[in-house]
A and B are shown apart, each in its own frame.
Chain A
Amino acid sequence: MSIISIENIRYTWPRSDSPALDISGLWVEQGETVFLRGASGSGKSTLLGLLAGTLTVQSGTLKILDTELISLSPRERDSFRANNIGIVFQQFNLIPFLTVEGNLRLAGRFSGEPRRDFRSKSEDLLKALNLDLGLLQRRADTLSVGQQQRVAIARALINDPELLLADEPTSALDADTRDTFMSLLMSVRDASDCTMIFASHDRSLMKYFDTEIELSEFNRAQEGKASRV
C-alpha cells in the first residue's frame, strides 16, 4: 500500500508567476525509507511543506494514508499532522525555553490525546537514542546540537507517527556526530517501522536508505526553469 501518493500536483508560491513544484506522479510505500535528494531551490522544502500539510496543493491529488489532505479542514490538517507526521529539521527543533520533557509533552498535547504511557514512551525513546534520562529536566537550549537533534527524533516519534519527515537533519552536525545520529535514527526508525522521507544533498548518507528520489527528475517546474536558462 502506498502511504504517499501524488498525482499531477502543482504548487505556485504567492506573488510568484511560475510554479515551484509540478509533479506528475510519485508513490511511497508504507515502511519505505526514502532519500530525497535535491539542491537548494529544487522544490524540496515545498514538497515537504505539502507532505506536512502546512501548504496545500493548488491542483492534483496528494494523499497520505489514503487521506486527501486538501479535503481536510485546516484544523483537521493540523491534528492530522500532529498525529501522523513527525518532523525533524536541520536545526531549531526544540522550544528553547522548555525542558526536554516539556518539549516532548507539548508534541503529545497537540495530538489531541496525550498518551497515558507518556513517561515510559519518552524514556524508551531517549534510551534508544542513547540519551541520558537526566536530560528530561534540562532546558532544551542547554543541550549540545547533537543532543538536540536526537531529542528532535524523540519528539518526532512520540506520537507514533506513520510518516517521518527529516529535512537536512544532519547538516548542522560534524562528521562523527552525523554518523552516530544516522545510525541511531535508523535504529529507532526500524523499531517503529514508520515510513521516512529524508531530504538531504549529502550523497554519502544514501547508503542508509531503501530508495533514492532525485527531485529534479520528478519536478517538471525545475525542468522548465532549466530550459529557460
Chain B
Amino acid sequence: MFEVALSSLWSRRGSVLLTVASLSISMVIVIGVEHIRAQAESSFVRTISNVDLLVGARTSQINLLLYSVFRIGNATNNIRWESYEDIATRSEVSWSIPLSLGDSHQGYRVLGTNLQYFEHFRYGDSQELQFSEGEPFSDVLHAVLGSEVANSLGYELGRELILSHGIGNTSFVNHENLPFTVSGILAPTGTPVDRTIHVSLQGIEAIHLGWQNGAQVAALGLEPGDQRLEDLQPTQITAMLLGLETPMAVFGLQRAINNYPREPLTAILPAVALGELWQIIGTLEGLLSIISILVLTASLLGLSTMLLSSLRERSRELALYRAIGARPSFILLIIELEALSLTVISVFMSYLLVVAGLALTQSWLSENFALVIEVWPTASSIWLYIGGAIAASAALSLIPASIAYSRSLGHVLRSA
C-alpha cells in the first residue's frame, strides 16, 4: 500500500515536488523560528546562574536585572560600601560579588568588581568564566576584556585604554590621566560578559578621585604606580551578587535586605526576574510563531488542493482499485498516506535545511552577533510543531480523501 502511494506520487512528481518544496519552506520557517526562539530563551535565561540574590538600590526587579546583568540603562541609586560589607559578612552569605557600573570605553560598559567575580560568577549550566588569554587583574589599573570587546576593538594583552565617564562612545569626559592595561581576555560566553570591560573597584574609585556629580573639580595628579592607588577604598557600588550557604535562607535574607534599615535596597531572585522579563519579550515571539503557523497552514492547504485537483485525473485509477476488490476505505487511506508521506518528507527536508543553514552560519552568528545557536534543533516545542504539522496534514487531507471516498462508494464499473 505504501508502495502504491509512493509510486503514485512519483508518477505525478511535477506537482508533488512543488508541493514538497512549499511545505519544506514553511516547515523551515516554523522549525527555524521555534529553534531560534528556544535558543534565545535558553541563552537569555542562562546569562547568569548559581546566584541566589541580586541586590541593588530600591527599584523594580526588572530594572535592577536590566542594568546590573544586561548592562542596559543606568542605576537610579548606588549602594554604600558599608551596606555591602554588612550584608556580605552575614552568616547566610557564602560569597558575594560587588558590581560597580557607570563608565564605558568605546561604547562597552566598564564593570568594577573584585577577584571574587572570576571565582564565583557562573553562567549557562553553572559554567565558570575561562580566560582565553592572560589572567585576572592584579593591579588597580588592570582590565579584563570580554571576548567581543577584544575581538571588535582588536585589543591584545598589554594594550592601554582610557575609560570614559558615563556611557556611550561619544562621551567628552575621559579619565585620561589614568590609562588601564589589558591583563586578560575572557573566552566567549554568549552572555553580556562578552561585551564588558572588567576592572577592579579601586580602579573605578581611582578614576573618580576629585570628581563630584559627574564633573572633575580637582586635579589630583594621580599617575599609574602611585602608592595612593593601592590604599583606595571603594565608597559605593551599584549592585551585588550573593551566593548563600543554603538555598533555604534565600527568602529570609531577601526580606531582610528589602527591609534594610540603613538604606532602601531591593533583593531579587535572578531566575524569577529573568523569567518575568522573558515573558515581556515573549509577546513578540508569540507573533512570530503565529506567522509561521499561518505560513504552514497555507502550505498544508496547498497540499490538500494539489490532492483534490489530482482526483479528477485519477478517477479511473481509483475506480480500478474498487473493481479489483479494494474497499472504499483503501481509497481514503491511499490519499491520506500520500499526504502524510509528503509531509514527513518535507519535515525531514526542512529539518536538514535548518541544520545545514545553521552549520554554515553558526560561527558567523556568534562572531558578529554574539548569538550562540546550537546546530541541531531539539527543543521539545519543535517536536510538538512537527507532530502538529503531521496531524494537521492528516486532518486537512481528509477533505480530498473523503471526497474520493464518497465518490468511490457508488462507483460503477466504467470501461472508458
Cβ–Cβ contact B416 & A110, under 8 A: no
Alpha-carbon gap, A22 to B311, bound state (A): 33
Query: Is A27 in the interface zone, CB < 8 Å from B?
Result: no
Cβ–Cβ contact A45 & B415, under 8 A: yes
Task: Point out the residue from A45, A75, A155 that lies within 8 Å of B327, measured CB to CB.
Answer: A75
Task: Point out the residue from B3, B10, B411 that lies within 8 Å of A102, measured CB to CB.
Answer: B3
CB distance from A67 to the nearest CB of B (A): 15
If A89-B415, A90-B416 touch, whether A95 touches B327 (CB-CB below 8 Å) is no
Query: Is B178 in the interface zone, CB < 8 Å from A?
Result: no
- Name the interface residues of B398-416: CB closer than 8 Å to any CB of A: 409-416
Query: Is B49 in the interface zone, CB < 8 Å from A?
Result: no
Cβ–Cβ contact B413 & A87, under 8 A: yes
Task: Point out the residue from B4, B316, B416 that lies within 8 Å of A106, measured CB to CB.
Answer: B4
Cβ–Cβ contact B328 & A74, under 8 A: yes
Cβ–Cβ contact A45 & B414, under 8 A: yes
Query: Is A91 in the interface zone, CB < 8 Å from B?
Result: yes
Alpha-carbon gap, A98 to B1, bound state (A): 11
Cβ–Cβ contact B11 & A97, under 8 A: yes
Alpha-carbon gap, A168 to B144, bound state (A): 92
Query: Is A25 in the interface zone, CB < 8 Å from B?
Result: no
Alpha-carbon gap, A14 to B410, bound state (A): 10
Cβ–Cβ contact A91 & B327, under 8 A: no
Alpha-carbon gap, A55 to B415, bound state (A): 15
Which of A28-36, A76-84, A126-134, A179-187 lies on the face that meets chain B?
A: A76-84
- Name the interface residues of A37-71: CB closer than 8 Å to any CB of B: 45-46, 48-49, 52, 54-55
CB distance from B314 to the nearest CB of A (A): 10
Query: Is A96 in the interface zone, CB < 8 Å from B?
Result: yes
Cβ–Cβ contact B327 & A98, under 8 A: no
CB distance from B217 to the nearest CB of A (A): 90
A46 / chain B contacts, CB cutoff of 8 Å: 412
Q: Which of A54, A87, A168 has the most CB of B within 10 A?
A: A54
Query: Is A167 in the interface zone, CB < 8 Å from B?
Result: yes
Closest to A111 in B: B325
Question: How many interface residues does chain A have, given as a range?
Answer: 35 or more
Task: Point out the residue from A82, A92, A168 that lies within 8 Å of B325, measured CB to CB.
Answer: A82
Closest to A141 in B: B11
Task: Point out the residue from A97, A111, A155 that lies within 8 Å of B8, measured CB to CB.
Answer: A97
B4 / chain A contacts, CB cutoff of 8 Å: 95, 98, 102, 106
CB distance from B1 to the nearest CB of A (A): 8
Cβ–Cβ contact B413 & A48, under 8 A: yes
Q: Which of B4, B323, B330, B412 has the most CB of A within 10 A?
A: B323
Cβ–Cβ contact B413 & A155, under 8 A: no
Alpha-carbon gap, A98 to B334, bound state (A): 14
If A81-B325, A96-B317 touch, whether A45 touches B7 (CB-CB below 8 Å) is no
Cβ–Cβ contact A54 & B317, under 8 A: no
Task: Point out the residue from A45, A94, A102 that lies within 8 Å of B413, measured CB to CB.
Answer: A45
Cβ–Cβ contact A52 & B324, under 8 A: no
If A45-B415, A49-B412, A90-B416 touch, whether A78 touches B327 (CB-CB below 8 Å) is yes
Query: Is A213 in the interface zone, CB < 8 Å from B?
Result: no
Cβ–Cβ contact A55 & B412, under 8 A: yes
Query: Is A206 in the interface zone, CB < 8 Å from B?
Result: no
Query: Is B320 in the interface zone, CB < 8 Å from A?
Result: yes
Closest to A89 in B: B415
Q: Which of B3, B317, B322, B416 has the most CB of A within 10 A?
A: B416
Query: Is B326 in the interface zone, CB < 8 Å from A?
Result: yes
Cβ–Cβ contact A92 & B316, under 8 A: yes
- Name the interface residues of B1-55: CB closer than 8 Å to any CB of A: 1, 3-4, 7-8, 10-11
Alpha-carbon gap, A109 to B330, bound state (A): 12
A45 / chain B contacts, CB cutoff of 8 Å: 412-415
Bits for A12-28, please: 1 = Cβ < 8 Å to B, else 0: 00100000000000000
If A95-B317, A96-B11, A106-B4 touch, whether A89 touches B413 (CB-CB below 8 Å) is yes
A79 / chain B contacts, CB cutoff of 8 Å: 325, 327
Task: Point out the residue from B3, B7, B321, B324 that lies within 8 Å of A155, measured CB to CB.
Answer: B324
Query: Is A93 in the interface zone, CB < 8 Å from B?
Result: yes
Q: Which of B316, B324, B327 has the most CB of A within 10 A?
A: B324
CB distance from A56 to the nearest CB of B (A): 9
Alpha-carbon gap, A75 to B322, bound state (A): 11
Alpha-carbon gap, A90 to B415, bound state (A): 5
Query: Is A107 in the interface zone, CB < 8 Å from B?
Result: yes
Closest to A199 in B: B415
Cβ–Cβ contact A93 & B320, under 8 A: yes
Cβ–Cβ contact B415 & A168, under 8 A: yes
Q: Which of A46, A79, A98 has the most CB of B within 10 A?
A: A98
Closest to A112 in B: B325
Bits for B143-182, please: 1 = Cβ < 8 Å to A, else 0: 0000000000000000000000000000000000000000
A: which residues have CB within 8 A of B? 14, 45-46, 48-49, 52, 54-55, 74-75, 78-79, 81-83, 87, 89-98, 102, 106-107, 109-111, 155, 165, 167-168
Known: A49-B413, A79-B325, A107-B324. 7 other contacts (CB 8 A): A55-B410, A78-B327, A81-B325, A87-B323, A89-B414, A90-B416, A98-B4
Nearest 7 pairs of A and B residues by beta carbon: A82-B325, A97-B11, A110-B325, A90-B415, A167-B415, A89-B415, A78-B327
